[in-house]
Amino acid sequence: MRTHFAKRETLAIRLSLLAIMTALVAIATFIVRIPNPMGGYFNFGDVMIFVVALIFGPIIGGFAGGVGSAISDSIGGYLVFVIPTLVIKGLEGLLVGLITGRKSAFRDVLAVCVGGGEMILGYFLVELFVLPVWGIPEWGFVGALVELPGNIGQVLIGGLVGIPLAYVLRRRMPEILK
């Protein structure tokens, strides 16, 4: 009987964390939006994606990263990016969560580099190949190149803020939430 209750309690905690972290990613992505020349925007969502994935792992990191960022694109009027963002940011959170060892700074940095690299490459490829096919001709090679520095900046800031923040939060967080 106690085991069944513990499993339900753990599931409730994980689902609650999933919802809260998804909302936090959406908020972090939506609150500060600095438009890029081609129509995308620079934001601090990667900070939150990295923190969530580094602390809670690949499932919560991937779900919160993809869904939270897609919600922000949706309510922010960037509808053309909703599906690419869902996939790209979801993979970013998933990769970071899979690679981190949650105990090694090296693994955290590696995780952020791999996840961030996937995000940069993912948006570059979508802007280069997918958006022009969807009938948005101003994208393509030049548009993808113009967006590249903003995406690199997001990853750099995300890592520089997210890794130390995750480290501090891991040390202060009750074991039940990890």
pLDDT at 38 over 80: no
pLDDT at 143 over 60: yes
The pair of three-digit structure tokens given for residue 61, joined into one six-digit string: 């990191």
Q: Which of 137, 125, 32, 35 is nearest to 87 (CA)?
A: 125
Chain centroid offset of residue 150 CA: 15
* Per-residue model confidence as pLDDT tens digits over 146-177: 899 999 999 999 999 999 999 999 988 876 66
DSSP letters, 60-88, are: HHHHIIIIIHHHHHHHTT-GGGHHHHHHH
Q: What percent of the chain has pLDDT over 70?
A: 94
Taking the C-alpha atoms of residue 132 and residue 107, their distance in angstroms, rounded to an integer, is: 37
* Per-residue model confidence as pLDDT tens digits over 55-69: 999 999 999 999 999
Q: Average pLDDT in the 14-41 region?
A: 91
Q: Average pLDDT in the 16-42 region?
A: 90
C-beta of residue 168 within 8 angstroms of C-beta of residue 58? no
Structural domain for 156, as ranges: 2-177
Q: Which of 60, 64, 100, 99 is nearest to 85 (CA)?
A: 64
pLDDT, residue 137, reads: 78
Query: Which band of pLDDT confidence, cut at 50, 70 and 90, is reported for residue 103?
Result: confident
pLDDT, residue 40, reads: 77
CATH of residue 92: 1.10.1760.20
**Phi and psi for 42 in degrees, rounded to 5?**
-85, 135
Q: Which of 133, 137, 93 is nearest to 115 (CA)?
A: 93
* Rounded to 5°, angle at Cα 95 from 52 and 50: 25
pLDDT, residue 75, reads: 96
Weakest mean pLDDT among 18-27, 39-48, 109-118, 152-161 = 39-48
Taking the C-alpha atoms of residue 1 and residue 151, their distance in angstroms, rounded to an integer, is: 50
- Please tell me the pTM assigned to this model: 0.92
The count of domains in the chain is 1
First-last CA distance in the chain: 24
Q: Which of 110, 142, 119 is nearest to 42 (CA)?
A: 119
pLDDT, residue 52, reads: 98
pLDDT, residue 23, reads: 98
Query: Which band of pLDDT confidence, cut at 50, 70 and 90, is reported for residue 37?
Result: confident
